[in-house]
Structure 1
Amino acid sequence: MTDWTDPETFAAALDRVETREKGNYFEDFADGAVIEHAPGLRLTRHGSETWMSQTLNHDPAFWRTDAARDRGFDATPVHPDYLLACVMGPSVEDLSEKGGYFLGRDGVRFHRHGVPYGTELRVESTVQATRTSSSRPEYGIVTWETRGVDAGTGELLASYERTNLIPRREPAATDGGRSESASGDAAESAVEEPESGQPSLPETFVTPEGGAFEDFRQALEEAADRDAAVAYRHERGRTMDAFTVAALPLATLNTARQHHNAAAMADSPSGEPVAYGDVTRSTALGHARSDERTYRELGFDDERFHDFVTAGDTVFGFTRVLDADGSSGPSRAGEITFEHVAFTDDARPVYSGTRRALVDRRDD
């Protein structure tokens, strides 16, 4: 009789058996293919409130019924950051579990405001584009559009495009990156080659006096026609821990090994599991929202994740105000365009993105 639990016998068996791999290679993705992701989530109060509390998103409209009704919701709804993470999570097993750099996300849109608890989420993706990486022959580049749909009604809730480096089964013949340089494809080359040179900063930085729409518009007017920018940092920070690194992504069905598999990450550049990008992003946005009177989220563009975050890193937020448009939205709010940067305690930028949100006007 073979004793399969004898250490030497079991080690010999491990050396001889094949590993049943998870995830897809670059060659498995065809332009235009639609992928129905089998996992799905029921959006819960516990999940949303846990996500919000751990990322310091304390907007009362997502915690209290009276504040929610004042915002135009029937009841406290699912937070949009939690919704976005729950759309992303089920897609990982099919799209990016093999690994590879997350090059960016664009066109994040919320198609329904006030998604209620109990909504069952179905997620699907369409392959938008595939191409060879000329500087990384062992990888290809894939762009998907991913959509989160109410499984009961078919209503589109949230959508976005994201681009990843994906491992190939066989390395491709490349030109060493010359075509990428010629075509101006900065997204991939920026992964490990940040821009160099002397910093070019405005002479003056203007900080809004408050968090209402008028405060942001006034700060932009003060900065206009001079060498100035409306930019400021947020005081709060959040130190990443085992819960934020592993538990939050796993709660959204994100199976990426880099968030929870220390053995797999031992030989990686970080040497240990790294935080889910959407946790880092939501934490920085939580810091930013605490200094404004957010009415409603509209969308995000040009989102990039610049470096990894691990347990023990403290995430802070930095904000630039780009525009204030009082002509759109309800009478009580105006549209503000922000650029947000998440950074760590050693001043490493780890996330950046452009955000559009409606911000409440002053009460007077």
Structure 2
Amino acid sequence: MAKVLGMTYTLNTSNPWIYCNYPENVKEEYLGDKGHFINRQSVSAGTGQIFYEHAIPTLTTDLYHGIRIYNGNDSNVTFKVLNYGHANRTSKNKNLESADSWYKFFKEVNAATYTIPAKKSIWICEEKIPAKTGLFTGNLRFNTSASVVIATYIYKNKNSIPDKTTYVPYATTAGESNYKVYSGLGAGYFFTAKQQTLRISQFPSDKVIKFITHARDNTNYTINGTSGTSQHEYIPLKLVSNKNLIAQYKGDTKNDPLHNLGNWCAQYYFPITFNNDTNQDVVIKCRISCKSSATGGYAMPIINCEGTILRNALYITSTPPYWEWKTITIPANTSKNLNYQFILGANSTTNLEHQFILQN
């Protein structure tokens, strides 16, 4: 039987995660031109991240997505874009727009530095969204030298956005198209796992060692010293529409409109050492397996393995699919490191296994 590893994580809870997924399907009345922002958060000096994913499947005119930064201080603020990637769904990327945005985040970076005068605002990361785009998504890591207000908008003309704007009213009735998607603020976005050493002599009889991420029934981990039996892996989100509404895992998968989390586009870093303490060379196959019971949809794993960006789309069938993403040959009596960052792109089905299979 496969050996299942317990994971120990550090989550960067002092860094804000501005999470923008509501409304997922954008209507005319939700636009900035109509007086609505998607998300707006005050953040303190330091580093944070923004994730957004939306769709405009029925709108017949081109739109724009932009991020507005307001400096309410009495002196200038330095605002830095550290990494940024955006992608629209196209016929070429075939639902892999999330992977495309992360490729740009890691490879193109798109870094920039802005000086924001006191009591002024700037617009950054403005992107054209062609009419009827199925999905568009992006990720931005930033650093600010002082507190600022960050707001995201979808609009036709930013000059038509009124001075006073408000949030899009949150859907709370089952059956509404945006019932189970959220925009809000999370505490942290980057899980750093404790280093694991896997000895070849200690592989079980079926030759599989694995660990689990993005699964509701998994409690075999700790985060910042707290056991998975008393918390959950998914990062809670304080909704922008009402800070008293928190999207979080509660175990209710049927009646609770605030349970539908998956840590989509949260980042995980896994440092692993394979110690071949035997007298023969061995081969390890590295796999990502989707174990969801869902009958439709797919999982979109994205891997940054020491600068090499890999991606796939695992389509859900009656037999859970897997993605064999790396093969490692380890000579006798030597060790090799495998350090990789993992992201489950939006939009995906959850319940994943990271499997390491000994071939000989």
TM-score over 0.5 for the pair: no
The alignment's TM-score, normalised by the length of structure 2, stands at 0.27
More strand by share: 2
- Structure ranking higher on relative contact order (CA contacts 8 Å, 6+ apart): 2
Between Structure 1 and Structure 2, the one with more helix by share is: 1
> Structure 1 length normalisation: TM-score?
0.27
